[in-house]
Every structure is written in structure tokens, then in C-alpha cells.
Amino acid sequence: MNPYLDILPEVAQALKDGKPVVALESTIISHGMPYPQNVETALNVERIVRENGAVPATIAIIGGRLKAGLSPEEIQYFGKKGPAIAKASRRDLAVLCARGEDGATTVTTTMMIAHMAGIKIFATGGIGGVHRGAETTMDISADLEELAQTPVMVVCAGAKSILDLGLTLEYLETKGVPVLGYGTKELPAFYTRQSGFEVDYQVDTPEELAKAFKTQQALGLKGGMLVTNPIEPQYAMAPDVINSAIDRAVAESVEQGIQGKRITPFLLARVAELTGGDSLASNIRLVYNNAKLAAQVAAHLSEL
């Protein structure tokens, strides 16, 4: 057991008993939306995981401790503190733990801590990827490298549509990460169901997803598996509306010199402003949808 890792008793018992567990990230609480909507959303996601047969484990860093599972009080703490909490990627873990500080886990660090705890399935909104203009900025999310080396299935609504989706898929292919579309052959683009890019395979049931991941592990293959789950049609945004907002937000980020860790929170917040809050509403619904699918896959995986 990692000496810096604390597993919530309910989660630890579920893992010991071989019951399904789903990891959830904490960046969506601290940096994804305002308080108290962030806390309400986080608690709803945990409820949805339970309703679909699994135990939720929200991942975070509190006081230098890696947390696999948060109490409602800890989720409330994260929600109130919000962006004041450091956004923690792989490079930040050692310093945050050494200093005894808090950290909101990204896809990368949620995968890492989930794997330390023995959790195999993780639900999030969208993964990071290759940013637009990366051919000159080299701005590529650590999420892609983590998918290449950490054996966790990530259920998401595709890569965030603020990214260069084509290059993101190329990068994942280079790293040998299988990209599966749930009920679709087309990569969903976070707020919308279409991107114009194809995934590696279409998979139509949670059972088939669980079997594919179990087989990947049995083969001894390194790395994770990416499941892209399209946002439900009634909550999807019109591609021209969301793409126009994204283009404007990206242009503004360049004008203001926003880079690194600040870029994704800035773009998501600005897109929400430009769409009158519609993108935030879509964001919440797609997270709920991913939590449901992840719990169903985890339940089937526990039976294999």
C-alpha cells in the first residue's frame, strides 16, 4: 500500500469484496463549475454510480494525502475552496504531498491514484489531448501519456472539443491506446455527438466493454483503454454554435497569453459565458451519462 494513500472505508471494503468501484475526478468540482453547483453535481454523480450498481470513489489530494474516496464533507470542502485548490497533474504530486497541500486531480492523477488503490474503471467528462497549435506550442495533455502507461479504463464523452481532435487520435494511436466508441464509430466531441473522426472500434454493450478490458489485462498489454460515450441527443449542442464559441475563446486565450494549466479552465469558462451557460448544462449531463455507463461496465467486470 502506498504510504501516502488513504482509501475511504466503504471503498476499501468494496475492493476487498471484489465489488464494482468507479473512480471520479475532483478537478470538475474545484475548477469545472461554480459553487454550489459543483458540489451538487459531484454528489449527483456519486448517486448515479450507486444507482447503477457500483461504489463511487471521488479522487483528490487533501493535506498531502492521496484520497481514494471522499466523504460528503470533503466534497463540500473542495467545492467551497474551488479554484484556490491547485490543479494537480503527475508532475505536482510529490511537491503537494511533501508540503501537505491540497490538489484537485486531473484525468492523469485520478488514473494514477485509482490504480494505486486497485480501482480499474474511471468516469470523467472529457480527456485532455493535443491542443490547437501544438505543432508550435508543444501543448499536449499528460492525460495521453497516462493512458499509454496506466491500466485503467477511462469512460468519457471524447476529447474536449477545445482541442485538435485529429492530432489527439493520432497521438493515442502512436501510444497504442485503444479508443472505443460506445454505440458509435465516430469520436464524440464532448458537447456534440459528431467530430468527423473515427474511433478504432464500435462497442454496443457494457458487457462487451468489460470483456474487452478484461482481455487487455489478461494479455498483459500495457496501458489503459479509452471509451468514448456520446452525450445524449437531447443535451447535445449544435456543432456550429459550440464551435463558434470555442474559436472565439481560443482566439482570446492567445491574445491574453494564457497557457499551461490555465488554458483549459479559461476556455471552458469562456465557452460557458459565450453560450449563455448552455455548455455548462451539457457538461453536467454528459458527466452523468458517463458515470452511468462506467458503473455498468464496472459491475460486469466484477463478474468476469
Which residues, 6 or more positions from 151, have their beta carbon under 8 angstroms from its beta carbon?
Answer: 115, 120, 216, 217, 222, 223, 224
Give the count of alpha carbons within 13 A of 121, CB side only. 31
Q: What is the pLDDT of residue 132?
A: 72
- The answer to whether residue 287 scores a pLDDT higher than 80 is yes
Which residues, 6 or more positions from 276, have their beta carbon under 8 angstroms from its beta carbon?
Answer: none
Mean pLDDT throughout 202-222?
97
Mean pLDDT of all residues belonging to the chain: 93
Q: Classify residue 221 as left (phi > 0), alpha (psi -120 to 50) or beta.
A: beta
Mean pLDDT throughout 4-14?
98
Q: Which residues pair with 57 in a beta bridge?
A: 23
Asked if residues 111 and 154 have their Cβ atoms less than 8 Å apart, the reply is yes
Q: Which residue has cell 455548462?
A: 280
Within 10 angstroms of residue 80's Cβ, the number of other Cβ atoms is 15
Is 25 one of the catalytic residues?
Answer: yes
- The answer to whether residue 112 scores a pLDDT higher than 80 is yes
Is 160 one of the catalytic residues?
Answer: yes
Residue from 25, 46, 87, 146 carrying the catalytic annotation? 25
- Distance of alpha carbon 217 from alpha carbon 201, whole angstroms: 18
- The answer to whether residue 214 scores a pLDDT higher than 90 is yes
Q: Please, what are the domains in the chain?
A: 1-119 (3.40.1790.10)
Q: What is the pLDDT of residue 206?
A: 98
Within 10 angstroms of residue 197's Cβ, the number of other Cβ atoms is 17
Q: Where are the alpha helices (DSSP H) in the chain?
A: 9-16, 27-30, 37-51, 72-81, 93-99, 107-117, 134-137, 142-149, 165-174, 206-218, 239-255, 263-274, 278-301
Percent of the chain with pLDDT over 90: 74
Q: Which residue has cell 475552496?
A: 81
Positive or negative, the CA dihedral 182, 236, 87, 248 is positive
- Distance of alpha carbon 179 from alpha carbon 154, whole angstroms: 10
Q: What is the pLDDT of residues 145-196, one digit of tens each?
A: 999 999 999 999 998 767 889 999 999 999 999 999 999 999 998 889 988 8
| 211 CB burial (10 A radius; 0-12, 13-18, 19+) | middle
- Distance of alpha carbon 142 from alpha carbon 129, whole angstroms: 8
Within 10 angstroms of residue 91's Cβ, the number of other Cβ atoms is 10
Asked if residues 96 and 88 have their Cβ atoms less than 8 Å apart, the reply is yes
Q: What is the pLDDT of residue 270?
A: 85
Residue from 67, 87, 120, 160 carrying the catalytic annotation? 160
Within 10 angstroms of residue 105's Cβ, the number of other Cβ atoms is 30
